[in-house]
Structures are given as C-alpha cells and as structure tokens.
Amino acid sequence: MKEIEQLIEISQFYGRDSRYVIAGGGNTSYKNADRIWVKASGVSLATITEDGFALLDRTKLRPMSEKKYSDDVALREEEVKNDLAAATLTRDKRPSVETSMHNIIEYAFVVHLHPTLVNALMCSQQAESMLKKLFGEKALFVEYTDPGYVLFKKVEEKIKAFRAAYGEEPHVIWLQNHGIFVAADTIEEIKNIYSDIFGTLEKSLQKNLPSDETLSSQDAEKVIPAVRMMLSTNGLKTLKVRNNPIIAFFSENVENRQLIAKPFTPDEIVYCKSNYLFFDGNSEETLLHEAETQIPVFIEKQGYHPHVLLMKGIGLVAAGPNAKQCETILDVFEDAMKVAYLAQSFGGEHPMTQNQIDFIDHWEVENYRRSVSTTKSNGRAENKTIVITGAAQGFGEGIARCLVKEGANIVVADLNEETGRKTAGELNTLCGGNRVVFVKTDVTNIASLESLVHDAVCNFGAIDCYISNAGVLRAGGLDEMTPETFDFVTRINYYGYFYGVKVVSRTLKLQTRFAPKDYYADIIQINSKSGLRGSKANFAYAGGKFGGIGLTQSFALELAPYRIKVNSICPGNFYEGPLWSDPENGLFLQYLKTGKVPGAKTVEDVREYYLSQVPMKKGCTPDDVTKGVLYLMEQCGETGQALPITGGQVMLA
C-alpha cells in the first residue's frame, strides 16, 4: 500500500535524526475513512516497518470522544486503555496512547515529534507569547495537560475552537512541555512545514549550542568503578560517561545546574526519572566521599537508584540496568540540557511542576513504555563488563562471541584496528541490552593499557573480568630462533600479561573496596597446554607460558585479599583458528617448514599428527574455553589455578 510505504518513509526520515527524535520517541500515523495506522507503543521510529504500526477501526475510536469516563484518574485511564484495545485490529500491538489525538486531526498523515528546538520554546517561560510572535496569532498552543484522555480532550477542544475561528483544520499543534504535532495530506507538505518551523526557530536564537566535540572525562577510572559498585547493591548496574561542551556548561558550574534540576518533559521522567545527583568534588577522593554519602540517602528517600549523575571534571554519567538503557538515558538528559540552554532565548527554562511529575511517575502507560524500553536477558555473564585482549580474531574473537550471548558487555582490545572494529560491529548485532566496543590496544605499552582501562570504564562503568588473551607464537629451535624473535614473543606473551594486570588491578581494587562483600573480580590469562609441559622447537612460546602460570600464582596471592581471583586457562590447540590454519603463517605451515613433525610432507599430515595425540580426537574451541571462563568467574573457592582444557592431552597429577 503506497500510503503505508510513505508513512514508513517519513517515520524513519525523522526517527533517524536526533534533532527531531531522541530514544525512538514521538509517533506517526496515516488514516483513511475507516482505518488508522499508528505507531505501536515501544517501537522506534528510526527502524520502524509496517509491522511496527497498530491498525485500529476508526468507527470504534470516534465514540470515545463523546463517552463519559470515570472521574477517578486510574479507573478512567484503564477504561480508555480498554476502549483503545477494543478498537485495535492488530491484537498483538498496543497503540500509542496519543492515538485518539491522531484520529481527530482530519489530515491523512500526522507526525508528532519532540524536537530539541521546538521544546526549547515549548519548555520556556515565554512559550505562548513567543510562539504568537514568531508564528502568528493562528498558532495553536496547548498549555501543559497531563497525557492521556485529559490531554486528548484538551486538544480536541482547541481544534474545535480553531475550526470555528478560522474555518480550517490546523496543520500544527504546539504542546507545552511536550512537543509538536504536524499534519497534512502528503508527507512532502509535512517535511516543508517542519523545515519552515526549524528555520524560524533557528533565526530566533540569541546563542547557538556549543560544539559537540568530545571532552576528556579526566580520572573517570579513579571514581566511576566505585560509584558503579555503590549503585549495585541489588544487581550489577552499567554506567556510561559522556562529556562535551554542553555537558561541561552544567557540570562545571553550580549555578547553571539549577537550570536542569527538574525535568521538562514526560520522556525525561520515563527514562531519567525526576531526581538527579550533582557532585562538586575537585579530586577523586572528594568525589568518592560525596558519592558514598549521597547515594544511600538518595536511594532511601526516592526508593530507586539515581539514573543521572553529573560530576565535576568527569561529565554526565548514566546508570542503568544495561548499556543500551544507559545510551538512552544519556541521549535524553543531554537533550534536556540543550533545551535548558536554548530556552534562555525565550525568557528562561520552564520545568514541569511536582504534581505533573508525580502523575507521569505513576501513570500506567509510561510505566509500560519504561518496561518495554528495558531489554531483559538472563545470561551467565549478565551485565558484567569483560575486557579481552587480542579479541579482533581467532580465539579471542570466539570467546568474545560466546560471552556476548551470555549478556556481557565486551571490550575488544587489539592492535589490529580494522579487524577489531569490524569484529565489534558484528558482535553488536548479537547484543540485547549489552554492547561491544573496540579499543585499539598495545599490550606491551603501559600508556596504551591505561587508555584501554579509561575507555572501558567510560563505556561501561567497570571491569568485572580482564581476560589476557593477546599472544603470538613463533616456532623455532635453538639454531633458528633469533634473540629479536625471542624478545618479541616474550614481550607480548609474558610482559604483556604483567603489564595488563599491573594496570587493571588498580581498577579492580577500587571496585571491590566499594562492592558488596559477595562480589569478586576476575583476571583470567588464556595460557596454553604449552604452559603445562615443554614444546619441542617452540621454547620461546612455551617459556613465556610457563612463566605466565608463575605470574598467575603470584598475582593470585597478592590480590586475594582484595577479592580478586587470578587464574589461567590452558587450552589445547584451536586447529580451526588463524593461529594454526592461516595459509601464510599458521602453525601447521610453520611446523611443516621447521620439520617439527617427522615424515610430514603436507599441512594435512601435520594436522593429523596433532589430532592423533588428543584422546578425545578434537581440537579445543572458543566455546570450550568460554565454559572454563564462566566457571572461573562464577566460583569463589579457587584462585591461582591453571585449568587445562585439552581434550585429555594434558592431565594434571
């Protein structure tokens, strides 16, 4: 149907532009004489398809305008919800609560959005007077009204008055502390109307928004992991940090913060709640003291943990049930900051009143929308943040892939930027509420590892498990091995493990210091069966791996008092991975060239030789190793161990 294709087109057109839509909000519709297609609740405009629209019978919607509903607020909204459901032809989709407003507007297409520029005007002290000044006396302004049936009746009343006064249907309806409706019979008309509105508003601004450049969140890794644990008394939370000039305008100035102390729109309450924490400390210790003091008081008073924290020197911090929700919180609250900043051009900001806030906080419809926006999962690594070095490909990529499916946030740390970014992108397609990021990392460089920790903390708020997987192998006997090659292998496999633990352990100690007593952090080295027994013509690799187990045991003794477990996993050979099967430099090829397998004439001869040594006749896979990783993370009775996963090739005495 051509009109539905056009509805999808215009929905995605605005839904993908953050100037118009934040957190997938707003709604759109198309109607003919008998039916109306309206965005279903909880569906994002940016990605909506035909399946994302609820279809309703207009003959059943129209009587709602005249029907007498209960005077009791809760009962009334329940009755309205039931009547909307009765009119819905697509039973598995809950229509937008604003469906009735879409239905009474006589134009075919309606696009309702919450653009930043529009709300700068609609959430200002001079909203109505400036609206008339900029757009003329015919501009239809609706003062703030609680969403739902009451707002529908108010809009209906205003539309009828407009028709009586001007003899025409309004194209634009402006809603105080809410947003805007634009309607027309073609999507081209709607685009032109929105374009004209934006042009007029942009010219009326006394000052534009500052640039959106990213600013440093200095020392975030010294504060945020502790705050994350303070907020995780009832299940692990994810935190995400953002800083830019508009955020710094508020985070660095106590007076400016008063402009954003209360919410401006229902959406802000749905995703960010209505109370926020602001911290003024000038050092990590003072920030930690403020957090330790204020967070318990906040939770006791409000009955929920803060979703939004603003920290001097660090920026805006979102705290949510998962990484996806944190992204939404940041987007919505940063938009509120922009609204407050731009509202100064229209007489200053105009937040919602406490009564208006309380209605939204307890309104069933918004609680439903809040629940729909929260992605639930029950993986074994749910909401844990795991850093994996050498995860762009091979074993590391395979482990990351398995852990993503278990609900973990993953940091792919690798020197190979092109492959690493591609891997992170692919893994993100497997995510629910969790996320995957790539951080370019050189495990032989302390500064690079410190940057890795900083980026991991800014993205997810913590590091629950550090998997030291990056490694190289260069085979060769005493006659072939050069000092340079030996040093190269040792620096990555041995020094790299030490450097990583040295840097990451600082963050893990901070976490466990403020964590519940049953919380343990993990460091897991992906070692090798070559760390358990010698390897002919492979001493550079085996020596580093033997040394790695010595480091594991020593680190375990040092870090046990901090509730940090340190263990190694010693896998057998991952024959399908690039380490072994790379056609240009894989181990099968290297071992063939060095004559490590007597009588072998082909790569396949080498492969068969190694499989014959495994009692279970199989190589070790990333899935096998991930099961070991999950076991080590879940148990709290062992540290300093080397866990073999070799198919029986290496058995411990």
Helix (H, G, I), strand (E, B) or coil at 486: helix
In terms of Cα–Cα distance, which of 630, 626, 640, 625 is closest to 564? 640
Question: Cα separations (Å) of 155 from 40, 183, 258, 397?
Answer: 21, 14, 32, 54
Determine the Cα–Cα distance for residues 356 and 276; give it in Å rounded to an integer: 17
Exposed, middle or buried: residue 481 (CB in 10 Å: 0-12, 13-18, 19+)? middle
Tokens of 78: 């329940």
Q: Dihedral of CA 523/541/397/412: which sign?
A: positive
Determine the Cα–Cα distance for residues 290 and 582; give it in Å rounded to an integer: 53
Determine the Cα–Cα distance for residues 52 and 38; give it in Å rounded to an integer: 9
499 flagged as catalytic: no
Rounded to a whole number of angstroms, the distance between the first and last alpha carbons of the chain is 71
Per the CB < 8 A criterion, the answer to whether 563 and 508 are in contact is no
Determine the Cα–Cα distance for residues 227 and 309; give it in Å rounded to an integer: 10
- Could you please report the per-residue DSSP string of 253-279? -HHHHGGGSS-SSHHHHHHH-S--EEE
**Considering 144, 276, 541, 610, which one is annotated as catalytic?**
541
Tokens of 226: 């502790």
Determine the Cα–Cα distance for residues 524 and 504; give it in Å rounded to an integer: 12
In terms of Cα–Cα distance, which of 171, 111, 180 is closest to 142? 180
Question: Cα separations (Å) of 34 from 28, 37, 64?
Answer: 17, 10, 15
Quote the DSSP letter at residue 221: G
Catalytic center residues: 541
